[in-house]
Structure 1
Amino acid sequence: MPTTIILTEDALTDADVQHIADLQTEQPERYRVLVPEDTDSDVVSAIIDHLWSGELREAGEDLVGREPTPDEAKVIAADRLERSLTLLRATGVAADGEVTAEDPVPALAAAVSAEGGPDGVQGVVVVTYPHVVADTLRRDWASRARQKLRAPVLHLYAGTSEIGD
């Protein structure tokens, strides 16, 4: 069964689902969604990302904000996963998924392997917000996934029609 595996740091939006569908040559029979427990752990990078984007208030909130507890992080991730699955299922395609550990790239590699490797999946899509530091240094999830999987990975910026490197 052709599967598209999606790794996302936040709940997918209607726009994200539409962009994923538009960029695929044919609709998959199934989506598998991975959402990590905690995507806000690198405070310095988050502050730089907000400053680079002109989001001064958000940078200040990151500076004085508190990290969610492990239990809160699991609840947040489960909610993001459920909202993403609901939108994907609304397109008429089967969708399932899981909450992963903080570093989701190993879970992504395992999911691809479970489908028969890079040739066994219809596509791998990583949906993130722009992260200036990680994207520039090629330490973002999409770049790391490409290195680990040795396969094409589509990187979309959440809520936009922009494609990352």
Structure 2
Amino acid sequence: MSDTALTVVVLTEDALTTADVTHITSLHPDTEVTYRVLVPADTEHNVVSSVLDHLGMLELREAWSELVGREPSPEAATRSAGEQVVESVEALRATGATATGEVTQDDPLPALSAAVAAGGDEVVVVTYPHAVEDTFHTDWASRAREELHVPVLHLYAGTSELG
């Protein structure tokens, strides 16, 4: 183990998968790392953006579901995010890592900024591909790079692909 400990802030839009945890924990194999997981409560779901994302990925059924579906209530969104935090923290701890987590507001950048200001050394953003946001660099990772001035890695959930 190295003498230097790091704090990695993980911002994810869903519970981390086994593949996500493997990729994240392999970034610093010889360093003591504390992970702080942030999951936003998706209370202001952007239907238009979601439909375009699904259409861009040729996911017609999912696009239709977005159009006819309903936004979750704030309580349901917060409850779902809380479950995703617990699942993600447990997955990281199962590897022997130290991890904590919390639910953030729909826009996670203020909480991400606070976490970095409180000692976060780098950020890992884990999302599904979002055609509109990724193309126009309005995604969380791009915004974090511009605002936080710490290393930011963007992984696509469940894969080894970089965003």
TM over 0.5: same fold? yes
- Structure 2: 5+ residue runs without aligned partners? none
Match of 1:105 among 97, 101, 109: 109
Q: CA deviation at 1:81?
A: 0.4
TM-score by length of 2: 0.93
Q: Does the Cα contact within 8 Å between 2:41 and 2:106 map onto a contact in 1?
A: yes
1:63 maps to a residue whose letter is L
- Structure 1: 5+ residue runs without aligned partners? none
CA offset digits 1:55-97 (Å, max 9, x no partner): 1100000000001001001100000000000100001011101
Q: Does the Cα contact within 8 Å between 1:21 and 1:27 map onto a contact in 2?
A: no
Q: Does the Cα contact within 8 Å between 2:9 and 2:123 map onto a contact in 1?
A: yes
**1:62 corresponds to which residue?**
66
Percent identity (aligned): 59
Q: Does the Cα contact within 8 Å between 1:37 and 1:74 map onto a contact in 2?
A: yes
Q: CA RMSD in A?
A: 1.4
CA offset digits 1:76-134 (Å, max 9, x no partner): 0000000000100001011101100000011101000001xxxx52x210000010100
In 2: Cα distance, 1:24 partner to 1:91 partner? 13
Over 3 Å counting, the alpha-carbon distance change for 1:79 and 1:33 in structure 2 is: same
Q: CA deviation at 1:23?
A: 3.0
TM-score by length of 1: 0.92
Q: Does the Cα contact within 8 Å between 2:43 and 2:74 map onto a contact in 1?
A: no
